[in-house]
Structure 1
Amino acid sequence: MSNMKLPAPDPAPGLPESFFDRIGGHETFGRLVELFYQGVAADPILNPMYPERDFGPAKERLQLFLEQYWGGPTTYSERRGHPRLRMRHQPYHVNPEARDHWLACMRAAVEALALAPADEAILWDYLERAAHSLINTFEPTPPVPGGNAE
């Protein structure tokens, strides 16, 4: 018996290609998340939300969520259940300032992907709406412990 790998089957005739597949699948979403977290690592508002400074688990969760949302594998739900985004973000101080920083980091990541303009617009529309929906306070961002607050 041969160990020859068979090619992946073509999508079923008549079924539309998913957005996930159209923009490059796992590789594209992995790049998006990697670029996004590079921005987060340098961001004075977002970085302190990760006190252990280990972005690995957060990267994996975001990538799995986005892949599932856009028609990729359902691994996120299999591992974590329903996304419940608002509930999962409730412990974090997500005010308009944090939202704006998140959007700035995500905007840079999305632009770096150089997607087709229509695909970029679709992706950005969702990300922007999601960011607005996660605001859970209008209180100012608290000072970072050990920071330069006066």
Structure 2
Amino acid sequence: MSTFYDEIGGMDTIRTIVHRFYEGVATDDPLRALYPEEDLGPAEERLTLFLAQYWGGPTTYSERRGHPRLRMRHAPYAVTPDQRDRWLRHMRDGLDAAGLTPEQDERFWTYLTYAAESMVNQLA
């Protein structure tokens, strides 16, 4: 049975999206502040594994880190609407770099916008 992960090109596509995203994060000071690690590499790997698993790929994320519990993991950080918008801007760049079909792009983008909105925990 084919998954969305398979349909979009698997790990290579996920890595393209996430790598482009983190290139943007690295130069976006307000957003970068949400990533306490000096090196963004571990965060990039975690997001890659999470998205791969979410879309039907390998379950490596859960094997290493347990249940995603996204809201709980992000609760210590003040996530504002501005940071959500910045996050989405860089994710948009990642999706654009992946060259998905319009239907695939819309499905992925719908999830990302929902996820980003659900992480906002501060109004300003």
TM-score of the pair, normalised by structure 2: 0.96
Residue 123 of structure 1 corresponds to 108
Match in the other structure for 1:7 = none
**Looking at both structures, which has the greater relative contact order when contacts are Cα pairs under 8 Å and sequence separation is at least 6?**
2
Name the structure 2 match of 1:74.
59
Identity %: 56
What amino acid sits opposite 1:123 in the alignment? F
Q: Deviations over 1:1-45 (max 9, x none)?
A: xxxxxxxxxxxxxx3x10001111011101111000000011121
CA RMSD in angstroms, aligned pairs only: 1.0
Query: How far does the alpha carbon of each residue in 1:114-145 deviate from its partner, in whole angstroms, 9 at most, with x for none?
Result: 1110000000000000000011111x3xxxxx
Is the Cα–Cα contact under 8 Å of residues 25 and 90 in structure 2 kept in the other structure? yes
- The alpha-carbon deviation at position 112 of structure 1 amounts to 1.4
Instruction: Provide the rounded CA distance (Å) in 2 between the counterparts of 1:50 and 1:106.
Output: 16
SS of the counterpart of 2:92? helix
| Count of aligned residue pairs for this structure pair | 124
Query: Structure 1: which 5+ runs fail to align?
Result: 1-14, 141-150
Could you say which structure has the higher helix fraction? 2
Q: Deviations over 1:70-128 (max 9, x none)?
A: 00001111111110000000011101011010001101111111111000000000000
Q: 2:42 aligns with which of 39, 43, 57?
A: 57
1:107 aligns with 2:69: no
Q: Which amino acid aligns with 2:62?
A: S
Alpha-carbon distance in structure 2 between the residues aligned to 1:57 and 1:73: 18
